[in-house]
Structure 1
Amino acid sequence: MGTSIRVTFKRKFFAGLFVFIPVVITFFVISWFFSFVDSFLEPLYFKILGYHFPGIGFISAIIIIFLVGIISTNVFGKRIIDSFELLLLKIPVLKGIYTSVKQLVEAFSPESKVSSFKKFIIVEYPRPGVYSYGFLTKDCVIKAEKDGRESCLRAVYVPTNLIY
Structure 2
Amino acid sequence: MKKYLIAGLLVWLPLAITIWVLHSVLGLLDGVFAWLLSASQALLPAAAHSPLEMLKQIPGLGVIVMLVGLLLTGMFATNIVGQWWLRQGSRVLQQIPIVKSIYSSVKQVSDTLFSSSGNAFREAVLVQYPRQGSWTIAFVTGRPGGEAGEHLSGDYLSLYVPTTPNPTSGFFLMVPRADVVALAMSVDEALKYIISMGVVAPPTHLPAQPVRNLAG
User: TM class by shorter-chain length?
Assistant: 0.5 to 0.7
SS at 2:161 equivalent: coil
* Whole-Å separation in 2 of the counterparts to 1:118 and 1:74: 25
- Cα distance 1:121–1:107, how it changes in 2: closer, same or farther (>3 A)? same
Q: Which of 120, 124, 130 is 1:122 aligned to?
A: 124
How high is the TM-score relative to the length of structure 2? Answer: 0.42
Instruction: Indicate the structure with greater strand content.
Output: 1
Contact 1:72–1:81 under 8 Å retained in 2: yes
Residues 1-164 of structure 1 mapped to structure 2, 5 A cutoff: 35-41=31-37, 47=51, 50=54, 52-111=57-116, 115=118, 117-126=119-128, 132-138=137-143, 155-159=157-161
Instruction: Indicate the structure with greater helix content.
Output: 1
Give the partner amino acid of 2:122. Answer: F
* Whole-Å separation in 2 of the counterparts to 1:63 and 1:45: 23
* Whole-Å separation in 2 of the counterparts to 1:109 and 1:73: 15
**Unpaired segments ≥5 residues, structure 1:** 1-27, 139-152
SS at 1:120 equivalent: coil
Shift of 1:157: 1.2
Shift of 1:65: 1.5
Shift of 1:55: 1.8
How high is the TM-score relative to the length of structure 1? Answer: 0.53
Contact 1:110–1:119 under 8 Å retained in 2: no
Shift of 1:34: 5.2
SS at 2:58 equivalent: coil
SS at 1:82 equivalent: helix
Q: Percent identity?
A: 20
Between 30-39 and 81-90, the greater mean CA deviation after superposition:
30-39
Shift of 1:50: 4.6
Cα RMSD for the two superposed structures: 3.9
- Count of paired positions: 118
